[in-house]
Amino acid sequence: MFGDLFEEDYSSVSNNQYGKGKKLKAKPLEPPAPREFTNLSGLRNQGGTCYLNSLLQTLHFTPEFREALFSLGPEELGSLEDKDKPDAKVRIIPLQLQRLFAQLLLLDQGAASTADLTGSFGWTSNEEMRQHDVQELNRILFSALETSLVGTSGHDLINRLYHGTVVNQIVCKECKNISEKQEDFLDLTVAVKNVSGLEDALWNMYVEEEVFDCDNLYHCGTCDQLVKATKSAKLRKLPPFLTVSLLRFNFDFVKCERYKETSCYTFPLQINLKPFCEQSELNDLDYVYDLFSVIIHKGGCYGGHYHVYIKDVDHLGNWQFQEPDMNLKALQNEEDIDDPLTILKAVLLQENNLIPVDQLGQKLLKKIGISWNKKYKKQHGPLRKFLQLHSQTFLLSPDGSTVSLQKQPSPQTESDFQGNGQQILQMLAAKSPGSNDNTTRPHWFDINDSKVQPIKEKDIEQQFQGKESAYMLFYRKSQLQRPPEARANPRYGVPCHLLEEMDEANMELHMKRTECDSANNNIELHLHMGPHYHFFNGALHPVSCQTESVWDLTFDKRKTLGDLQQSIFQLLEFWEGDMVLSVAKHVPAGLHIYQTLDGDELTLCEVGIADGEDIFVWNGVEVGGVRIPVGVHCEPLLLRVLHLETGSDGKRRGQLVESPHVFPASAEVGTVLTALAIPEGVILTRSGRSAGEESWTPVPQEDMRRTFREHGLKDGSSVLVRDSYSDDSSLLPQGGKWITGTNEIDWLEVKNLCQLESEEKQVKISATVNTVVFDIRIKAIEELKLMKELVENSCLRPIDRNGKLLCPVPDSSTLKEAEVKLRSSLGLCLGKAPTSSQLFLLFALGSDIQPGTEMEVIVEETLSVRDCLKIMLEKSGLPGDAWHLRKMDWCYEAGEPLCEEDATLKELMICSGDTLLLIEGKLPSPGFLKVPIWWHQPQGPSGRWESEDQPHGSPAQGGSWRAASTQGVPGHVPAEVSLLYLGDIDIAEDATLVDLKSQARSLPPASKLAVPGPALLRAWTVENKRPGRLLRADRRELKEYKLGRTAAICLEPLQREERLGPLDVLLRTQMRVPGQRAYAPAVDLVWDTARGSSAGALRQTVADSYALPVEKTEIAKYFPEKFEWLPISSWNQQITKKKKKKKQDNLQGAPYYLKDGDTIGVKNLLVDDDEDFSTIRDDIGKEKLKQMALGKRHSREALQAQNSDIFSSTGTPTRPRGPEASLSIHVGSFR
């Protein structure tokens, strides 16, 4: 990451470079890891699919759902091999779901991939990285499955397992007439706010009655009058599997923000639903349900993480809840437990005296509940080494794969120990919670993406409240019994073709793991042959070329040193005498031996031999007749020795020279004088005096016998030698220390960016941290052979790692003062550098700037904001004074405006390198707002403006039409919103909305539009060039709306005065034209959510508005920024009746988030049964979005390529954007 921290050329000492440039061994792609001790498989997270993983695991652990899906064969669903054939009807989603379930059951991998399944959904990488709501996914996935299974024997799969009904009744207290309405549900959505738990919520919904009396009477059709009545709801039909969605997310209408309800909300492990159902003759046990899955959400309302607690009904997993720490504490006082010899002997006797070494540790963990590494390794070493050291007790096979006990001296001794060992293991088993009989206890697991671990049933209580709490509950009827053959049998119910596919996949995985295991255990060793080396200048060096002296050997690290030695013998044709293997390492001085390897029976892994290790092969004593020092204490050090140059006459000159010398780390410091043939002298070492400063400290005479290591010297350290008789004036004593004028020499790279031709494009300039920038610039101009005129009109600018030019460096600064790092790059550019009292600023026009479009300016830091604005306007050629400045923040967006125009840049803490943005519009006075006013009028059937006072399509004076063209598109379609700019108004923050409307009517363009009075004007904020938030309550002050300084308002004319309540939602409904992909003009619809905010309530309101039967009405929400329609499913009908209380929100939450101004498409199923809601304009818009995305990608690539050509680096990073998007699953038609 950081490159070579110390890199020098030591060619004068050693030409041996084989220690550098080693190639990394390319490891094979590792296969997925096998399942862990739970024997269950998780699901890999694709980036944001934890919500999907949690729901899929719940469906997988619903055996009835899984087996019903498995019962559908290829003759009904088709085959995945035929999915690309044009005429084949392949139901990809259920096929991929089958395959995923088979992998979760049978494939030996720790986590399965959902990529194929999400691919069948039609999802791209963007959807896989974006998190959605799991309750929303549950409904959409069931809808997709129902559509996919049309025409098969599984067409009623979802309906049969999850469908239930609720009946709403109103009873007249006069004639006792009962009015009923039945509604279907696939999941029950229950309230969390102000409710203690699930049973309390169900009681409020299905037991309490709502009374109609006093001012709220009910009109009875039988009595034909307003009467007192009671309204209630009951569960009429219960499904085999009950899904409960908890309304954890709510909206605070005071703060205008969403929040998560984290209060305590209890739910039982078993629930009796009889009190909430209609009276029937069913057995009481038919109403009892058991909890088997809890999907948990951790985080807030804008993001978080999902995982799931699941009950393993079929006992497919290994549920052993181990607590090693408790075992360790319980066994600390047992003398036999502390003796590993006793424990291992007992385990071997119980396992018939023979066991693979790899399995011995697992058996030990299973018997005593604690691993060897945790209990014994610190004191007794690795398990294999312990067995080898106790060869009188344990007998290892020749290949070291199995272990058994040596024969005991007498049968009586063996019998006694066997009985004692059995007693010890029984005592351990009794204390190990993992070894208890778990067959009757419920098996619960926490499945968190790819991680699966057992939990206790009582752990569910921790999810009652908090930021990490239950979000969805899944219950199953207690009477549902599983067949005995399904217990602990993952192959039960799996089709034969999937069994064969999984068996083949497991065989392939086994082969890949074997190959990968072999590859991972093979290491590369570099064998240095002693006869081909000689000892020179304190280190080993090859006699001839490297190829003859160094051999590369691939070896299994699980084999022993004896095996390695035997392999080397076989490679060599001849070796005389003993062979000793030693670990060597490359140092700047050459090759040095650090450690001799002993213990032929130890494996390379136990000895600590790493991949790429250098092994020196020799006799262990000498090389070429020279005894070789071994060990870290005598490591050769390559030092930089600075001393006065010696002339041809033997006299020392005044110039300092540097020469490399090698000394053993254990040698005395005084040997430096001997090496330089100086009889007497002073040795100085470099030390840090303070941050960024260095000094030379003399070595006292009494410390001259201390070693280099004791003085803290290492490779690359500098030593300064001063002759005692020298009168060198460059070395002056200061405060007892010797300060030198010489610094560590380094370099800077200067690139020619002056747009002038030269022979060199870049040069390296020698420099130190104390070098002045002016000197570097002058030297760069000379070496680049540029014109001398550049001396007065050029500057140096640092180049960052992205290739961007930073602000110029002042000529008078040193590199240290300018914070320029050595070995970095500078650009030589035209223009003078700023002085210490000047600022170098970047500025750009508008808030949406593109990288590389900024302009530059140098100004005095005492300049006022007003004067700075004038300079920038003049340089950019912009007329007028209706502009202001904003500072760009850290995320490349326009920040707060610089309101104090008389303040200096220094006072506002504007620094060199900051970017200022020129924004059109003069800033208002304090306490006032400058609000742009736009005119918005709905379009007619032709897509044009309808105005009596103005010709169609002609712009008003002072403004411009912003209408999207609709030529070539038949009929009226949801188009881009057309806004007409009327002008800006200055208005006080404490003015009311009525005042704003009145002042807007006085704008000149408004007089030509016949703008009505304030009571007939509807006000919206402008967001993304379309109406955004509806502003209600005309008498409310503007500051209460929290508009901000950049808000814009658009006004819409009304035919009559409207009074919207706080819970009313203003929607634009459009009826689809039968037989055409077009819509009739939009009609305003006021939806009173106080009467219900569910899909059923909205559908009823729309049906009443268009006088249509509610069952023949289909509705969908339009997302104009994506040109997509999202059908509003009938499954979103929520029954949340509470006495004297308002109903809970539904469509105002995920995934629809209905708000004022949303467009609702309406379809009459009596005359139009087409499932498609889209229009031709949507197709065109999607294609434009696709082309825009492609164009932006090409622009980024071109910019990166351009920066790469100029600066040899990547482009400037762009701002990340993550718009909120709805969730959808694309399904083919199988009708």
DSSP 1072: B
Active site residue 305: yes
Q: CA-CA distance, 1179 to 1184, in Å (whole number)?
A: 9
Nearest-angstrom CA–CA distance, 384 and 402? 10
**Average model confidence (pLDDT) across the chain:** 80
What pLDDT is recorded for position 945? 38
The per-residue pLDDT for range 445-454, each reduced to its tens digit, is 999 999 999 9
Please check whether residue 574 is in contact with residue 533, taking contact to mean a CB–CB distance below 8 angstroms.
no
pLDDT tens-place string over residues 679-704:
788 888 876 544 445 567 888 888 88
The candidate with the shortest Cα–Cα distance to 99, out of 499, 488, 450, 489, is 499
Nearest to 680 by CA among 701, 706, 650, 657: 701
pLDDT at 141 over 60: yes
* For residue 730, pLDDT beyond 60: no
Edge-to-edge strand ranges of the sheet holding 1113-1119? 1083-1088, 1064-1071, 1159-1164, 1113-1119, 1124-1127
pLDDT bin (cut points 50, 70, 90) of residue 1160 is very high
Residue 380: CB partners within 8 Å, gap ≥ 6?
340, 386
Name residues whose C-beta falls within 8 Å of residue 181's C-beta, 6 or more positions apart in sequence.
Answer: 167, 168
DSSP, collapsed to helix, strand or coil, labels residue 990 as coil
Q: Quote the strand ranges of 456-607, DSSP E.
A: 468-477, 522-529, 533-536, 539-542, 550-556, 580-587, 590-596
**Six-digit token pair at 782?**
């000379």
Bridge partners (DSSP) listed for residue 657:
643
pLDDT at 9: 36
Six-digit token pair at 169? 């009744």
pLDDT digits (tens, 9 = 90+) for 996-1039: 999 998 888 888 887 888 888 999 998 878 888 899 888 888 88
Give residue 1199's pLDDT.
63
Alpha carbon distance 686, 693 (integer Å): 11
Decide if pLDDT at 949 tops 60: no
H-helix or E-strand spanning residue 289: strand 288-300
Q: How confident is the model at residue 240 (pLDDT cuts 50, 70, 90)?
A: very high
Planar angle of CA 619, 623, 626, nearest 5 degrees: 125
Q: For residue 724, which amino acid is it?
A: S
Q: Indicate whether 145 pLDDT > 90.
A: yes
Structure token pair of residue 544: 């001839």
pLDDT of residue 1047: 81
CA distance linking residue 1133 with residue 1092, whole number of Å: 10
- What's the pTM value of the predicted model, to 2 decimals? 0.47
> The tokens of 1071 are what?
């009826």
Alpha carbon dihedral 301, 305, 311, 317, in 10-degree steps, equals: 180
pLDDT > 50? residue 900:
yes
Both structure tokens of 931:
């609000």
Alpha-carbon gap, residue 1030 to 974, rounded angstroms: 19
The answer to whether residue 807 scores a pLDDT higher than 80 is yes
**End-to-end alpha-carbon separation of the chain, Å?**
58
Query: What are 1161-1192's pLDDT values in tens digits?
Result: 999 988 888 888 999 999 999 999 888 888 87
Least confident of 129-143, 179-193, 1118-1132: 1118-1132
Q: pLDDT tens digits for 466-497?
A: 889 999 999 999 999 999 999 999 999 999 99
Q: Is there a catalytic annotation at residue 50?
A: yes
Question: What count of other Cβ atoms lies within 10 Å of the Cβ of residue 562?
Answer: 12
Most trustworthy range by pLDDT among 447-456, 721-730, 836-845, 1034-1043: 447-456
> Does 32 have pLDDT greater than 50?
yes
Q: What percent of the chain has pLDDT over 90?
A: 30
* SS3 call for 209: coil
Is the pLDDT confidence value at 606 over 90? no
| Mean pLDDT of the 498-502 span | 94
Lowest mean pLDDT among 542-556, 570-584, 840-854, 1074-1088: 840-854
Count of other CB atoms within 10 angstroms of residue 905: 22
Q: Which DSSP category does 32 fall into?
A: P
Q: In the numeric block, which tokens belong to residue 69?
A: 């899906």
Whether pLDDT at 1221 is above 70: no
Coil, strand, or helix at residue 137? Answer: helix
Among 617, 616, 621, which Cα is nearest to 584's?
616
Examine the pLDDT at 1069 and tell me if it is beyond 90: yes
The yes-or-no verdict on residue 940 having pLDDT over 70 is no
Please indicate whether residue 1211 or residue 993 has the higher confidence score (pLDDT): 993
Is 957's pLDDT higher than 90? no
CA–CA dist 49, 53 (Å, integer)? 6
The residue-averaged pLDDT of 787-799 equals 86
Lowest mean pLDDT among 103-107, 391-395, 794-798: 391-395
- pLDDT above 60 for 120: yes
* Both structure tokens of 25: 């061994």
Phi and psi based region of residue 47 (left: phi greater than 0; alpha: psi -120 to 50; beta: remaining): left
Catalytic site residue from 155, 223, 305, 711: 305
Query: What amino acid is encoded at 104 in this protein?
Result: L
Q: What percent of the chain has pLDDT over 70?
A: 81
In this predicted model, what pLDDT tens digit does every residue of 397-427 receive, in sequence order? 776 778 888 765 444 444 544 555 555 555 5
Helix (H) or strand (E) holding 405: strand 402-405
- Indicate the pLDDT class of residue 231, thresholds 50, 70 and 90: very high
Residue 584 confidence (pLDDT) above 90: yes
Task: Choose the weakest-confidence range: 192-196, 546-550, 864-868.
Answer: 546-550
Candidate ranges 259-263, 281-285, 340-344, 499-503; pick with highest mean pLDDT: 499-503
Per-residue pLDDT tens for 1083-1121? 999 999 888 888 888 999 999 999 999 988 999 999 988
| pLDDT for res 724 | 63
Query: Where is average pLDDT lowest: 394-398, 524-528, 751-755, 887-891?
Result: 887-891
The residues, ordered by sequence, that sit 6+ positions from 967 with a Cβ below 8 Å of its Cβ are none
Could you please report the per-residue DSSP string of 628-687? PP-SGGG-EEEEEEEEEEE-TTS-EEEEEEEEEEEEETTSBTTHHHHHTT-SSEEEEEEE
Say which range, 578-587, 681-690, 828-837, has the weakest mean pLDDT.
Answer: 681-690
Could you tell me the pLDDT band of residue 954, with boundaries at 50, 70 and 90? very low
